[in-house]
Amino acid sequence: MKTRAAAANILHQVINQGQSLSALLPRYQQELAAKDRALLQELCFGSLRWYSRLDAIARQLLEKPLKGKYQPVHALLLVGIYQLLYTRIPAHAALAETVNACKLLKAEPFRGMVNGVLRNVQRRQDELTTKVDALPQLRLAHPNWLVKRLQQAYPEQWPAILEANNQHPPMWIRVNRRHHSREHYLALLLQDGLDAAPDPLADSALRLARPLDVTLLPGFEQGHSSVQDAAAQMAAQLLEAAPGELVLDACAAPGGKTAHILERQPELGQLVAVDLDPERLQRVHQNLQRIGLTASVHQGDAARPADWWQGPRFDRILLDAPCSATGVIRRHPDIKWLRRPEDIAQLAALQMQILDALWQQLKPGGTLLYATCSILPDENKEQIKAFLSRTPDARHLPLHEHDSPDQPGWQLLPGTEQRDGFYYAKLSKAT
């Protein structure tokens, strides 16, 4: 009962108040017993993943919408429908626990309505879902504006992208090459009965057959491995930092790419990591401390480098730019409902500002790797095309055979080889 009420409150606060799941979930989990925390996560992620489909089913059965102070009851209905359609929770348990949660939501007069709607879903599931699933945006549970943008950008791949966004993401780990080769660490996993598979692109990446507690990974507390998606691991690999170089990791938090650059290049001259968010910078310090690495960490705005850097210009810059995060929806399903179409132009303008500012901090002959976890062209290839056209000393460096100045960069789509969606483009500065 308490878990369902918590899930309903979280869903309501994400959808109706614009709060983020990553901020809400830990607060509610700490109030629950350990056995209920995983269930709460499953209910929240699943209800958000399928929100618009669940909502459309519920609205077919409601005499009138639940608005205002009754919105948490509507959210509770969706949590109940999610359990019936998508989980192995016995229907009688899902029904009873969801109905009883009305008490904790101070909505006891709605017990009968909640019970009636959920029993109708049980009886009329095929009829209700067939009607809803006639519309792709409801069947695949994405907002209309995002579906249209993906259809335009990826006329053949868009259904597969939406399907991938609704999958449970795998757990990827990054092997610290200062301690083990990937093959040796894979052998250590197998010795412990943990199955994993290497990624064909990211040369330090292993995909676990099933998610597990990080403390079960060999040498995790000693920094022998870290959790990081294979697509994100390509950043340090493509940056190719060399011995003695001065490297900037811009927008560095939570520090996974910072650590990976240092792991790959032990003889680096200096690594500077900067991020605007002081709270997220604490994660950078924590990650570096666990792995036993050192970087010069600064709090500051990447668009205003003069405020936090008075040193020489950099040999290499990794710009993991602020973006819509549309490539990592499967890990953060609330992105679908929190992001707005007008955000994309605002983010593209910010990316342009940061790119132009950091380019001035790159020495002649230096390299900048631009990265986003977005799959929208406005933030990716169109951003780089515009930068190349207005920047005379920028040179395009191809990352694959089809990477050209007219179609720059490398777009990794979500779900391919079970990776997240990411974009990379590599540029050099003329001497």
CA neighbours closer than 13 Å in the CB half-sphere of residue 214: 15
What tokens appear for 146 in the block? 């995002």
User: Among 416, 413, 415, which residue's Cα sits nearest to residue 424?
Assistant: 413
Q: Which of 139, 162, 171, 45 is nearest to 413 (CA)?
A: 162
Per the residue annotation, which of 44, 251, 323, 373 is the catalytic one? Answer: 373
Look up 251 and say whether it is catalytic: no
Joined together, the tokens standing for residue 17 give: 């108040």
SS3 281: helix
C-alpha 133/C-alpha 71 separation (Å) is: 24
348's tokens: 């593209």
- Tokens in use for 360? 């001035």
User: How many other CB atoms sit within 10 Å of the CB of residue 286?
Assistant: 12
User: What are phi and psi for residue 208, nearest 5 degrees?
Assistant: -75, 145
Are 325 and 291 a contacting pair, CB within 8 Å? Answer: no
Catalytic residues: 373
